[in-house]
């Protein structure tokens, strides 16, 4: 974890402005006497300093780290007409930060004889919140994309392969000729857009034979951003109108978003899960990795100590003071394939073996043996796990087969139960059409004999009477009438006798009847 490095550079003043200036610089502190506001930074350069001193304060270290694979970003911040472009671009007599960084970059690469490098450069501007390619002026209004492999990048941006500092500076001069520059009341050559000069540095170990197994294919890819921001301005002072006023409004909006992002990061909003508005501006979106991310970052805050610009200077110092509290976590950006990883591990093993042979240390031999045994055990464990997984797959397939068979059997049984239910319902319907036969239950034999004897006596008497009458000769009509009256009286007597006999006999209890059979009709 390393915080953003912040330096302050004051622009030279005219003798009249120098006399009326309220600001005082003491060491690395700047303040207004008799005021509570006091700002301290990593370095403060007064108006007599040279650009070389500003560059060596921190930018040189960032360039050297970029060669080793760390991302780096340096940008100049301040109000309009405070010397930002002069600090970054410089002049023929006094080169700025960007030309010095380019020359140092190639000098450092020439000293790395054990690695081979590939350098690419791009140059873009953000004008009225539109991204334009300064190396390809026809490429305008480019879009920002993000991917796991490349991170945040601008789609369609031309990247030129470069091999010398002069080639880089010539391309930069070409791009500078297409940058939007305008005239205001405060500056004859006022930058109307933010520019981002970018160097992409790729490197890998240099090997004479590409087929050498001791080589490693790991590639380091780092990005060096050198940013010249347009200055914040007030329309009342610049006298901007029409197009210049629109440009100034977009510049102020993007710088306000940058200030909001720095404020959020200084308060720890990102670490606490809060929202940081990177996407509110194209500038902050492109510089997102450099703001609290994976990069070494330095801010050069340009100010003017004149009395008329005291408010703007205080605002710039407050921004720079908040940036001091932002921390980054820079790390080497290395693309490592599986083959490269194996080669690296093999190389490390060979180095350990060479050390072992050179020192003849028993301790190292034991360590190597232990590591070898551990490696063998891990291989055996991996094979065992693979076999177990294979057996588990087979068992799973068998279980699925058994489950399918059981499901088939359950289906068959369900169909059999369904058909058996239909047969039972059919038999029950047939049984409901049968009649029932009942018989007396456990009655006393004596009572049954008495009942049956009485019934037989009555029946025999009736039968004998009828038979005699039927067998006799034909009678006259008067005798038949008399006989009919006598039969009526006998019927009355029979009814009386029946009632009497019914009172004397004991009939069986209906509840004692038993269901004997059920016959079909």
Burial class (CB in 10 A: 0-12, 13-18, 19+), 81: buried
Instruction: Provide the annotated binding site for ATP.
Output: 78-85
What is the signed CA dihedral for 390, 395, 399, 401, rounded to 10 degrees? 70
The answer for residues whose C-beta is within 8 angstroms of residue 281's C-beta and 6 or more apart is 129, 253, 254, 257, 258
Instruction: Provide the annotated binding site.
Output: 78-85
Give the number of residues written for the chain: 521
Q: Are strands 219-228 and 194-205 parallel, antiparallel or unpaired?
A: antiparallel
Residue 488 has, within 13 A of its CA and on its CB side, a CA count of 5
Query: Which residues are paired to 29 by β-bridges?
Result: 26, 40
DSSP secondary structure string, 130-164?
EEEESSSTT--SB-EEEETTTEEEETT---EEE-S
In this structure, are residues 299 and 320 in contact, taking their beta carbons and an 8 Å threshold? yes
d(CA 465, CA 379): 123
Q: Are strands 190-191 and 29-31 parallel, antiparallel or unpaired?
A: unpaired
Task: Using alpha carbons, select from 281, 273, 116, 102 the residue that is nearest to residue 198.
Answer: 102
Neighbours of 487 (CB within 10 A): 13
Q: Are strands 144-147 and 151-154 parallel, antiparallel or unpaired?
A: antiparallel
d(CA 138, CA 143): 14
The answer for residues whose C-beta is within 8 angstroms of residue 386's C-beta and 6 or more apart is none
In this structure, are residues 8 and 323 in contact, taking their beta carbons and an 8 Å threshold? no
Q: Catalogue the long-range contacts made by 343-346 (C-beta closer than 8 Å, 24 or more residues apart).
A: 343/213, 343/214, 343/215, 343/216, 343/217, 344/216, 344/218, 346/213, 346/214
In the block, tokens 């703001």 appear at 291
In this structure, are residues 295 and 70 in contact, taking their beta carbons and an 8 Å threshold? yes
Burial class (CB in 10 A: 0-12, 13-18, 19+), 58: buried
């Amino acid at each position: 974890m390393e915080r953003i490095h912040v330096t302050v550079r004051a622009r030279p003043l005219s003798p009249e402005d120098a006399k009326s200036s309220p600001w005082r610089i003491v060491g690395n502190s700047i303040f207004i006497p008799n005021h509570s506001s006091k700002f301290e930074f990593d370095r403060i350069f007064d108006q007599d300093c040279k650009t070389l001193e500003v560059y060596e304060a921190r930018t040189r270290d960032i360039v050297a780290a970029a060669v080793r694979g760390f991302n780096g970003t340096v940008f100049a911040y301040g109000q309009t007409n405070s010397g930002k472009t002069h600090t970054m671009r410089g002049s023929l007599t006094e080169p700025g930060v960007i030309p010095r960084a380019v020359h140092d970059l190639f000098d450092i690469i020439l000293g790395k004889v054990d690695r081979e490098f590939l350098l690419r450069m791009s140059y873009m501007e953000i004008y009225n919140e539109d991204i334009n390619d300064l190396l390809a002026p026809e490429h305008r209004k480019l879009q920002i994309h993000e991917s796991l492999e490349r991170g945040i990048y601008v789609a369609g941006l031309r990247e030129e392969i470069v091999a010398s500092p002069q080639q880089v500076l010539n391309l930069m001069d070409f791009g500078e000729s297409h940058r939007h520059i305008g005239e205001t009341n405060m500056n004859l050559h006022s930058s109307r857009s933010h520019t981002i000069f970018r160097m992409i540095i790729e490197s890998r170990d240099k090997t004479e034979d590409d087929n050498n197994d001791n080589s490693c294919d790991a590639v380091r890819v780092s990005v060096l951003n050198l940013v010249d921001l347009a200055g914040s301005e007030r329309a009342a002072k610049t006298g901007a109108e029409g197009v210049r006023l629109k440009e100034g409004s977009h510049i102020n909006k993007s710088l306000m978003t940058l200030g909001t992002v720095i404020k959020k990061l200084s308060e720890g909003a990102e670490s606490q899960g809060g929202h940081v508005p990177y996407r509110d501006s194209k500038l902050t979106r492109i510089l997102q990795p450099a703001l609290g991310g994976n990069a070494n970052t330095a801010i050069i805050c340009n100010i003017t100590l004149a009395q008329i610009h005291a408010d703007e200077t205080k605002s710039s110092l407050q921004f720079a003071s908040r940036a001091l509290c932002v921390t980054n976590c820079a790390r080497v950006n290395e693309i490592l394939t599986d083959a490269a990883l194996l080669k690296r591990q093999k190389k490390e093993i060979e180095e350990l073996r060479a050390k072992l042979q050179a020192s003849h240390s028993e301790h190292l031999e034991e360590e190597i043996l232990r590591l070898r045994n551990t490696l063998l055990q891990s291989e055996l464990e991996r094979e065992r796990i693979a076999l177990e997984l294979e057996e588990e797959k087979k068992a799973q397939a068998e279980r699925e087969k058994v489950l399918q068979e059981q499901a088939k059997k359950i289906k068959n049984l369900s169909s059999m139960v369904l058909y058996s239910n239909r047969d039972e319902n059919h038999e029950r319907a047939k049984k409901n059409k049968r009649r029932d036969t009942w018989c007396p239950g456990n009655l006393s034999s004596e009572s049954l004999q008495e009942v049956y004897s009485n019934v037989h006596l009555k029946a025999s008497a009736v039968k004998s009477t009828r038979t005699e009458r039927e067998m006799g000769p034909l009678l006259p009509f008067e005798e038949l009438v008399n006989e009919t009256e006598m039969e009526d009286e006998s019927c009355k007597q029979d009814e009386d006798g029946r009632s009497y006999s019914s009172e004397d006999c004991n009939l069986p209890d209906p509840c004692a009847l038993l269901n004997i059979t059920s016959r079909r009709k």
